[in-house]
Amino acid sequence: MPKPVSIPRRAFLQASSAAAWTIAAAPSVLRACTAEQELHVAVVGVNGMGWSDLSQVGSHAKVKFVGFCDIDTQRFDLVDKAFPGVKHFADYRLMLSELADKVDAVIVSTPDHMHAPAAMMAMGMGKHIYCQKPLTHTVWEARQMRLLAQKKNLTTQMGNQIHSAKEYRLGVKLIQDGAIGKIKEVHSWIGVQGRQYCKRTDRPESAPVPNHVQWDLWLGAAPERPFAPDIYHPFKWRDWQDFGSGALGDFGCHILDPVFSALLLTAPTSLVAQNDGTTNEVWPGPETITYLFPPTKYTIDSPIQVVWRDGGLKPPRELAQLPEGVELPGGGSLFIGETGTMVLPHVGMPSLYEANKAKNVPLPQIAGTNHWHDWVDAVIAGKKTTDGFEYAGPLTETVQLGNIAARLPGKTLQWDAAKLALAGDPAAAALLSKSYRKGFDVPAVV
């Protein structure tokens, strides 16, 4: 199995103080205790979804937590009750360096802008990773995460847990079994919109930082800005471009996941967004992103259109061939095949239709699995998961490409995945990556 490695504390401190740790430079030391006996896990971000992640991972008999990191001292109460005695940290860099030889694997459940800085540092040290969706904040970061996981031969899993649920797995199986023939186009949608939570488009007045919050560490890689209560931390950071990824980033890695899995999609060749315009601060309101993908063995033999809608927009009902009285769900995907349609709700069992009636195909029985335990088991067995970064990376690249298009509505972008390039469009290409605040860089994988 892949062995966990670590970097010595002094080397880390020297490197991080220069804000220049590099993947190639990380020396490795093996942890004495093998993961076959007990898997030692550290967590970055222990409340919100982090609490769901760690309570699921912690319910695995072989998992032992060795470090909990959160920038808010008031957010440790749940973990302390459930897993008492685990050391607290505010800075993941110090946690990883101090526990370098005690940790096998790391859960990253911070806001989106800190996934790559934390996960890339941990992977550079040879740690296996469970990282929340969207895997990263930018397209470039998603590529680096995939490359580093591959280079270090790590067991990884993205936190779009419905990937392993029976509903999505059945949807994937039905499409691949040909229940509605080859797929001609797909429509995916969610009722949430990009600026759902703060209801504003400009920055608020600054306010004093409460004693329990380490605002500088919360900002991490993002450009400095003053604290404001009930605007960013917790949860509402989603609306802001510097921290979150809007409705598409929040739900795209869930809802487009069975589309990717079923059709074996990897990368779009072009995309274009429509919305009511946006500022440089927050994500747009209701939007449509139209992607074109190359055909695969599960699609018809011409470019396949996948349309994303959010903010209450839905595909035209008649496309679904629904019988009278049946409506499209609040979120999900509509697959249009040669011989019928399939509606896969987010989250619900798939339904098949043909010419305005339910399609009478016996649905196969398919079981779901525990997404978190699948990761733990795979780490221990030295195996890969079905939602590792080799899969989750391209899915997240697609989602975050959509967010580039959303900032340039009406412009058709041409994507060259092999070259990581948006050809002929410097304004769009500039949004593939971003700059990092000193001390929180994400190095390129060389």
Ligand X SMILES: NC(=O)c1ccc[n+]([C@@H]2O[C@H](COP(=O)([O-])OP(=O)(O)OC[C@H]3O[C@@H](n4cnc5c(N)ncnc54)[C@H](O)[C@@H]3O)[C@@H](O)[C@H]2O)c1
Q: Which residues bind ligand X (CB under 6 A)?
A: 44-50, 69-72, 75, 92, 109-112, 114, 132-133, 159-161, 217-218, 220, 233-235, 250
Q: Smallest distance from the beta carbon of 246 to ligand X, in angstroms?
A: 11
Q: Smallest distance from the beta carbon of 68 to ligand X, in angstroms?
A: 9
188 versus 290: smaller Cβ distance to ligand X: 188
92 versus 189: smaller Cβ distance to ligand X: 92
Strands 105-108 and 88-89: unpaired
Q: Is 13 exposed, middle or buried (0-12, 13-18, 19+ CB in 10 A)?
A: middle
Q: Smallest distance from the beta carbon of 83 to ligand X, in angstroms?
A: 15
Say which DSSP state 86 is in: P
C-alpha of 161 from chain center = 10
CA distances from 63 to 66, 156, 287, 328, 404 (A): 10, 16, 42, 41, 39
151 versus 166: smaller Cβ distance to ligand X: 166
Instruction: Look at residue 162 and give its three-state secondary structure.
Output: helix
Residue 432: strand pairing partners: none
Q: Smallest distance from the beta carbon of 431 to ligand X, in angstroms?
A: 19
133 versus 309: smaller Cβ distance to ligand X: 133
Q: Smallest distance from the beta carbon of 67 to ligand X, in angstroms?
A: 11
Residue 310: strand pairing partners: 190, 287
State whether the Cα torsion 367-46-111-135 is positive or negative.
Answer: negative
Q: Smallest distance from the beta carbon of 118 to ligand X, in angstroms?
A: 7
What six digits make up the tokens of 268?
């779009």
For 56, half-sphere exposure in the C-beta direction (CA atoms, 13 angstrom radius) is: 20
381 CB neighbour count, 10 Å cutoff: 12
52 versus 269: smaller Cβ distance to ligand X: 52
Instruction: Look at residue 293 and give its three-state secondary structure.
Output: strand
Q: Smallest distance from the beta carbon of 250 to ligand X, in angstroms?
A: 6
- The C-alpha angle 342, 345, 350, rounded to 5 degrees, equals 45
Residue nearest to ligand X (CB): 48
71 versus 405: smaller Cβ distance to ligand X: 71
Query: Which spans in 157-294 are helix H?
Result: 166-176, 215-219, 246-255, 257-263
What six digits make up the tokens of 325?
């009285």
50 versus 191: smaller Cβ distance to ligand X: 50
Is residue 382 within 8 Å of 128, Cβ to Cβ?
no
Alpha-carbon distance of 257 to 311, in angstroms, equals 19
243 versus 298: smaller Cβ distance to ligand X: 243
Alpha-carbon distance of 439 to 140, in angstroms, equals 19
106 versus 336: smaller Cβ distance to ligand X: 106
Say which residue the tokens 């079981």 belong to.
Answer: 367
73 versus 433: smaller Cβ distance to ligand X: 73
Which positions ≥6 away from 77 have C-beta within 8 Å?
none
Q: Smallest distance from the beta carbon of 74 to ligand X, in angstroms?
A: 9
Say which residue the tokens 């608020």 belong to.
Answer: 204
Q: Smallest distance from the beta carbon of 148 to ligand X, in angstroms?
A: 19
Q: Smallest distance from the beta carbon of 404 to ligand X, in angstroms?
A: 18
157 versus 341: smaller Cβ distance to ligand X: 157
Region for residue 158 given its phi and psi (left: phi exceeds 0; alpha: psi -120 to 50; beta: otherwise): beta
Alpha-carbon distance of 421 to 349, in angstroms, equals 38
197 versus 293: smaller Cβ distance to ligand X: 197
- The C-alpha angle 199, 203, 205, rounded to 5 degrees, equals 110
Q: Smallest distance from the beta carbon of 69 to ligand X, in angstroms?
A: 5
Q: Smallest distance from the beta carbon of 37 to ligand X, in angstroms?
A: 28
